[in-house]
Structure 1
Amino acid sequence: MIDTKGRSLELFYIDGHPDGMITAELFNWTGHVFVTPRTRLSEALRRQEAGYAGVYLLLGEKEGQDFAYIGEAEDLRTRLKQHAAASDKDWWETAVLISASANRLNKAHVKYLESRLIGMAREIGHTPLHNGNCPSLPGLTEADVAKMEAFLGNLMVVLPAIRVDMFIQRSRPAGSSGPVLSVDGVMAGTASTAPEVTRFVLNKPRAELTAKAVVQNGEFIVEAGSHARSEWLEEGSKVSTYKSLHDELVRSGVLKASGAHRVFTKDYVFSGPSAAASVVSGHSESGPRAWKLESNPNISFGEWQARQLETLPEDDISE
């Protein structure tokens, strides 16, 4: 069951702009997340929470791709000083310090969080890690394990809000998109608790490419078995920002070579129809035009979406 409860998140831009130091906190959560660019590290480490026990992320780029390191410390300030001076970690540009109010996390807690975060990051595979082996989980009581898992659950809400998406699981098991409950582009009413799904298709006959996608719970999911272009076609200044996404899906094994093209090995959630269409086509593509309703190929995604908006009663539109 999907959690549809709203959450209240407070971001405070300490420097007055989003590229400086930021604090992030959820209502009714003891966790505290602090983001600082490396250029402000001296100022950042003077803050009280920098002396707490916690886990931290070092984020940057290495050889043209995102790179990260995940660690833990009883004193975050001391550990970050060490990393700033280390020659083997000169690639990082941003640090994310994760602690709890009143310094409530102990050594075992932060070791547990470090191990879980490293395991999650490696399983998802978006961002290569500088870490060596994943440390084993420390021995915690059943109650403490439950507390740390709840802490992680809240942290996974906060991190995407500060543009840390390395823990977002976009690939899904094949077939996870569920049953089709839509007819001719109009969402079908149902007493079932199953999520409503609308199915789309993208055909490239000349390239022998066919991809299928569904819109479910607000997500645009390309289904396993769909085709994608083997290589990115655009070059030079025309290269789309979606090329890096195409390359990432190849590297992570979501896209596997199959004859003259590639095939999605898993269902994959894209940020929108254009990102999905571009990865499938191997060049920049307008998703609202490229994707067509499977039940009525004369209707594009853009036209289908416009129809959904037209059905909104005036009372549902905010002033």
Structure 2
Amino acid sequence: MVTPKRPRTIQIFLPSGDPSGIRIAEQTTSIIRVVEVPRSDLADFLKMPEAQQVALYFLVSGDTKDEVYIGQSGDVRTRLMQHHKEAAKDWERALVVISLTNNLTQTHVLYLESLSIEKAKHCQRYELLNSNKGQKPHTPIPLKADCDEIHLIGSLLLATLGYPIFEPLTEQTSLATTPVFHCNRAGVNAKGMYTNEGMVVLKGSSAPMSTQRKTEQRFYDKRDELIAKGIISVENERFVFQRDYLFQTPSGASMFLLLASSNGWVDWKTENGVTLHDHQGRDLETKVQKT
């Protein structure tokens, strides 16, 4: 489910005043709240009244915070304590979705857990650590409508806090209007879309497994990491993207493909050979002139 793009007001409260500590996000017109809890501050959260509620929660891990476990509980305090004690559970941040009026039921969160797992798999933003699909209980139509709205608001709040678990990398509506850029140096055959999050390398893009250029081991390490995760595969001495993948910068994307240093603003070009740098400059001038 793509969050509708319209103006909204989001409030983020810092209980301790520390921007890297516990953060509480809410939309001013909604009763849904998301609490972001660093694992180091878990004890502080467990003392808060929000920890005594029925809740949907997300445990985020990975060096780049790209792995997530999705769960639900009728007593999120007890459940998070259990996760903290489990040696096999490697997580750094908990994101807890609750209601300001404490009116979520076990049926709500069971449905939301199943829906969230389904949506997270579809978006492929994060590596999902769940071993099952969750339990989707029989849900009356009015309650299902409430859950869909909760999921919509929760998705927005998660993305605002920096966890766009349910936001597609490329929206179907943008595919026809957003230009596709190509990186074709040194045997690379890649396509990408420049978004407000960075450069999305599109599924099917490929590059040689090795390079004759001066390079560093870190480029190979990142490639091997994505191979291990199944994001790219090896085919005929080339690595091929099995799904769309976001790099934070155009240069980060082109360096990954070329296995060496690169200026992505120059190495990404339109089909007509216009560099990303020149294209964005022209696009900026056009938009400014229209205002």
- TM tier, shorter chain? 0.7 to 0.9
| Percent identity of paired positions between Structure 1 and Structure 2 | 29
Paired residue secondary structure (1:102): coil
CA offsets, 1:242-280, max 9 Å, x none?
964x45653454433232212334455544422332332
- Structure 1 segments of 4 or more deviating over 6 A? 216-219
Aligned to 1:226: 205
Aligned to 1:278: 255
- The 1:102–1:247 alpha-carbon spacing in structure 2 relative to 1, beyond 3 Å, is farther
Separation in structure 2 between the aligned mates of residue 87 and residue 273 of structure 1, nearest angstrom:
38
Separation in structure 2 between the aligned mates of residue 33 and residue 65 of structure 1, nearest angstrom:
17
Tell me whether 227-236 or 104-113 shows the greater mean CA deviation.
227-236
Aligned to 1:162: 161
Question: Matches of residues 124-273 of structure 1 in structure 2 within 5 Å?
Answer: 124=124, 126-129=126-129, 131-170=130-169, 178-179=175-176, 196-204=177-185, 207-215=186-194, 220-230=199-209, 234-235=215-216, 239=218, 244=222, 246-247=223-224, 249-268=226-245, 270-273=247-250
Contact 1:172 1:267 survives alignment (8 Å) = no
Question: Matches of residues 60-75 of structure 1 in structure 2 within 5 Å?
Answer: 60-61=61-62, 67-75=67-75
Paired residue secondary structure (1:134): coil
Question: Matches of residues 25-174 of structure 1 in structure 2 within 5 Å?
Answer: 25-61=26-62, 67-89=67-89, 91-123=90-122, 124=124, 126-129=126-129, 131-170=130-169
Q: Which 5+ residue runs of structure 2 have no aligned equivalent?
A: none
Higher RCO (C-alpha 8 Å, min separation 6): 2
Q: Which 5+ residue runs of structure 1 have no aligned equivalent?
A: 180-195
TM-score normalised per structure 2: 0.82
- Residue 302 of structure 1 and its aligned partner are, at CA, apart by 0.8
- The 1:177–1:65 alpha-carbon spacing in structure 2 relative to 1, beyond 3 Å, is closer
Paired residue secondary structure (2:280): helix
Contact 1:172 1:268 survives alignment (8 Å) = no
Contact 2:203 2:241 survives alignment (8 Å) = yes
Paired residue secondary structure (1:55): strand
Paired residue secondary structure (2:127): coil
- The 1:248–1:99 alpha-carbon spacing in structure 2 relative to 1, beyond 3 Å, is farther
Paired residue secondary structure (1:95): strand
TM-score normalised per structure 1: 0.76
Higher strand share: 1
- The 1:215–1:160 alpha-carbon spacing in structure 2 relative to 1, beyond 3 Å, is same
Aligned to 1:301: 276
CA offsets, 1:70-94, max 9 Å, x none?
22111212222333333443x3232
Contact 2:68 2:126 survives alignment (8 Å) = no
Greater gyration radius? 1
Separation in structure 1 between the aligned mates of residue 65 and residue 284 of structure 2, nearest angstrom:
39
Separation in structure 1 between the aligned mates of residue 87 and residue 37 of structure 2, nearest angstrom:
20
Separation in structure 2 between the aligned mates of residue 92 and residue 84 of structure 1, nearest angstrom:
9
Separation in structure 2 between the aligned mates of residue 85 and residue 285 of structure 1, nearest angstrom:
44
CA offsets, 1:270-319, max 9 Å, x none?
44422332332233422111112321x2x321122122233454794xxx
Aligned residue pairs total 287
Separation in structure 1 between the aligned mates of residue 174 and residue 188 of structure 2, nearest angstrom:
21
Separation in structure 1 between the aligned mates of residue 195 and residue 162 of structure 2, nearest angstrom:
23
